[in-house]
Structure 1
Amino acid sequence: MFWKAISFACLRLSNDIYSGGHIQLNKLRMASLSFIAIVTGTLVACSQGPSNDKDKAAPDASVPKANSTDYKGGAAELLVLDVNTGTTDEQFQKFFVEPVKAKHPQINLKKTVDTLDKLLAAGTAPDMVLVSNASLATMLEADIPEDLTQMFKTYGVNTAQLEPAVFQQLQKLGDQKALYGLPFYMNYGIMVHNRDIFDKFGVPYPKDVMTYEELLELGKKLTRSDGGTNYIGVMPPDLRQMYWQYGVPVFDKTKGKSSLTSDRHVQVFSLLKQFYSIPGYLDNGKHSHSVDLFFKEQRMAMYPNWVAAMVTFFDRAGTKDAFNWNVTAHPSYSDKQGLGKEVDFAIAVVNKSGKYREAAYQVLLSLYSQEVQTKFSKAGRLSVLKNDEIRKVYGEDSSVYKGKNLQSMFKVSPSPLPDSSKYDPKINALLIGEVVKSVMVDGTDINTALRNAEDKANKEIVIP
């Protein structure tokens, strides 16, 4: 089946579904992800790219370029740990093992099911780790990742071909000083809409690119009751995701405290409240809705989320051909137009203490070859390369998006993520749980709710 275990978007989706959580199915988290591929056989550095990529992206002419076919490291068996990218055993064979074996028969890859803690305790640290951008910090705390800046230069890897938001986030994760891995696929935000509902109420279909304000107005027109059926115009992202997309952090590293009461926090929350305040949106005092309203019951007109998540939801509901639906780009903020859902991608990390690092480099180079990136794209794992030809074949191995306006999603770019901290998950859980409910259901003032949440976070989450 096309997506048995989708994405590290999987971690992000666990809470993207309001009913308790943008994967676990009810906690599916796709969190979906954009990937560089520059090498096929002989790696050649590209001469094009933004000038701000030169520090770490452009090949160093003083360093001899290596050829991927010239690997002389001998026999090697690499232990690979997948932390949270959702790479299935079948995908591991198809995208990792087989392409590498075809070029370098002496390199073997073995995927482990053990945890990092167990491997480290046993003295068998992984040679490579597959991890989401959101969880790279965990690897850094374990002192695993090698800085691949020199490897990029040696092998002529030109990061100018990467989705810019992916490379910028990779630099940010290394404090602009190091590149702790190579991205190998990404997720991307889109919005699906039920055209049957639009037709039923005589409302024009959504434009390919819309602001949240425009989405709000459409949502108002389509949230209504008809013939005993209650329709929901749109389920917006949760507060955590809205903050991510706007670049608003929930922790101030300088002060060492949670940060929830700035004007920007209030601004974003106020916009979200307008969606919840649409007459008919709340259901008997409940502010959360299940994605089943769109995919199974066909009572929701619009739903923004990850492109990979939609495949899983349709697969679960078995309704992709049951109604007339289509795709647009993910909505943007009016003052940040052209920026959609937050950037999300998977990274292949090389253990800096690994015995077979040269062999690991060959695996990375294989992952980023156009051949493998194209295979990723066809299988529904979006390439990190900003390559129109590779993007055009996205999802070809699945029939879910066949005939749909899928390319519209690329009319916006991923939004940069705000600074993050180890406290973020618990603070975000507080936001999308208690805080939103207190405002939307109990009628608490936004400023008061955020101030109370900030105090609680500092007492119960940060200080301990």
Structure 2
Amino acid sequence: MTALLLIPFVLSACSGVQSGEQGPPETKQPEVKKPYTMFVFAQSVTEEEFNERFKTALERKFPHITFRYSAGGKGASITDLVAQGDIPDIIRTDVPTLQTGYLDLGLGQDLTSFVQTHKYDLNRFVPSFIQELTEAAPAGELYGLPVPPYYPMVLYYNKDLFDKFGVTYPKDGMPWEDLVAKARQLSRTDGGVPYRGFSMNYLSVLRDNPFSLPILDPKADQLSASDKWKTIFDHYLRLYALPNNKIETVRANETNAFAKGNVAMQIDSYSIAAVNKAPKDANWDMAAYPLMEGAPKVTGQRGPAYWSLTKQSKHQDEAFQVIMQMLSDEIQMSDSMKGAPTTLVNPSIQAALGKEHPVYRTKNMKAISYFPPASYAKKRDRGLKDVPLATQQSLLGDAFLQTARGQVDVNTALRELGDKLKLELDKEKNK
């Protein structure tokens, strides 16, 4: 019996471990993840941009994943890819095409469960960007997370023309009357050369108005709040009624008028590519969107696009982690410094806008966030037929152009717009 009692001690002594001590900890081998390819699709966003903004950071964090990317193109649209059975894991969506370019194709994947699993904080984002997407979804689903940039409205101005004619520069937060007064002073002919005081990208400006006014009524089959649309039209028509400031008869020409160098001011959306809208070699800058009488103190804006999953993806959880990385503070700070407005509420990232951009670091970038972004325009109530936003915008733009050219009065234009919207709704109902 004594011999038996000694056995544990002998074994411990032989193993070099004293009684009451533990052996050396086992070395845990790092998990080796099986390599695979993840397919990312973003219509019209070049592969060069994707690589510059995201790919390096993604490959560093996910070394086992090879990222395949497509920007679409002929024979490679998302519709083509779905038909071919070549479905991406991640797709870039937006609100206007959420239904036709994502849900109707059977790709929709609600992200709510992934947000819960990863305890992902949606409060990082500008609230309206999340709210607009969930309101646009059939049952309030979260079909994506907002990716920079978004597109706030700003007032571009040509400082050379202001200097030439001795007019003071526009200021952030100036009232609409000041905009009209400056446009009047700058609409003239000098040395046989015509100069215009004002132009605008009216399709975007009307859609992204500071009242957040939708075109089609959210609850009824009619034009939304025609009295408010009349107010908006009247504000801009005052500018186009000025002598020597006639609107271009072709929409694209009016949108591109500022770049010609003989237009003093233009309202349009801000974007990284906005430098291409400015006159070449001109001394230009930006001011905040002027305050329209009766409107809230906000900046009209077009919301961002979204990173979304597809329900066909075999790597959904890791694809969600990839989206998390693409929307990280680190990448959004880099985006902001290069000139892309962040979708986050982080003030330091907002303040960094354009700091590393060769042009924008010299501009009044505070104009973009001088007022908070306007809320999104309310969507149609669920269950009501809708007209594609692109169609609504086109009809609205045509109505404005007719009034600005003096072909019809505002009341007639808006009444006819309402009739055309009803015809489009009838088409949707009969499909």
- 2: CA distance, partners of 1:174 / 1:284: 38
Bigger mean CA deviation after superposition, 261-270 or 368-377: 261-270
Q: Rate the CA distance shift 1:463–1:259 in 2: closer, same or farther, 3 A.
A: same
CA drift at 1:162: 1.4
Q: Rate the CA distance shift 1:100–1:251 in 2: closer, same or farther, 3 A.
A: same
1:449 corresponds to 2:421: no
Equivalent position SS for 2:189: strand
1:405 corresponds to 2:369: no
Equivalent position SS for 1:340: coil
1:165 corresponds to 2:165: no
Q: Which amino acid aligns with 1:201?
A: F
Identity, % of aligned pairs? 26
Residues 181 and 349, structure 1, Cα contact 8 Å, conserved in 2:
yes
Residues 191 and 329, structure 1, Cα contact 8 Å, conserved in 2:
yes
Aligned to 1:209: 173
CA RMSD of aligned residues (A): 2.8
Aligned pair partner of 2:112 in 141, 149, 164: 149
Equivalent position SS for 1:191: strand
Aligned to 1:45: none
Aligned pair partner of 1:427 in 374, 386, 392: 392
CA drift at 1:225: 2.0
Residues 196 and 262, structure 2, Cα contact 8 Å, conserved in 1:
yes
Alignment of 1:109-120 (within 5 A): 109-112=67-70, 113=72, 114-120=76-82
Aligned to 1:252: 217
Aligned pair partner of 1:374 in 333, 338, 355: 333
- 1: CA distance, partners of 2:305 / 2:293: 29
Cα deviation digits, residues 216-267 of structure 1 (max 9, x gap): 2322222122222222112144166324312222223543x34167212222
Bigger mean CA deviation after superposition, 156-165 or 405-414: 156-165
Residues matched between the structures, number: 385
Alignment of 1:123-272 (within 5 A): 123-138=85-100, 139-174=102-137, 177-187=140-150, 188-238=152-202, 241-245=205-209, 246-255=211-220, 257-259=221-223, 262-272=226-236
Rg larger in structure:
2
Residues 166 and 343, structure 1, Cα contact 8 Å, conserved in 2:
no
Equivalent position SS for 1:334: coil
Bigger mean CA deviation after superposition, 405-414 or 231-240: 231-240
Aligned to 1:365: 324
Aligned to 1:92: 50
Cα deviation digits, residues 171-210 of structure 1 (max 9, x gap): 3233683211111212233222112222233222111123
Aligned to 1:38: none
Equivalent position SS for 1:266: helix
1:394 corresponds to 2:394: no
CA drift at 1:299: 1.4
- 1: CA distance, partners of 2:51 / 2:251: 43
Aligned to 1:310: 274
Q: Which amino acid aligns with 1:80?
A: V
Residues 343 and 414, structure 1, Cα contact 8 Å, conserved in 2:
no
Equivalent position SS for 1:422: coil
Alignment of 1:267-306 (within 5 A): 267-282=231-246, 289-296=253-260, 298-306=261-269
Residues 183 and 197, structure 2, Cα contact 8 Å, conserved in 1:
yes
- 2: CA distance, partners of 1:198 / 1:96: 41
Cα deviation digits, residues 303-347 of structure 1 (max 9, x gap): 122221422324xx6x2xx33222212234333333112232021
Q: Rate the CA distance shift 1:222–1:122 in 2: closer, same or farther, 3 A.
A: same
Larger relative contact order, structure 1 or 2 (CA cutoff 8 Å, min sep 6): 1
Residues 281 and 287, structure 1, Cα contact 8 Å, conserved in 2:
no
Q: Rate the CA distance shift 1:311–1:131 in 2: closer, same or farther, 3 A.
A: farther
- 2: CA distance, partners of 1:409 / 1:72: 46
Cα deviation digits, residues 411-438 of structure 1 (max 9, x gap): 11222222354333223212322x2343
Alignment of 1:62-81 (within 5 A): 74-81=34-41
Residues 338 and 354, structure 2, Cα contact 8 Å, conserved in 1:
yes
Aligned to 2:62: 104
Q: Which amino acid aligns with 2:193?
A: T
1:346 corresponds to 2:308: no
Residues 208 and 408, structure 1, Cα contact 8 Å, conserved in 2:
yes
- 2: CA distance, partners of 1:366 / 1:402: 26
CA drift at 1:351: 0.8
Equivalent position SS for 1:109: strand
Aligned to 1:40: none
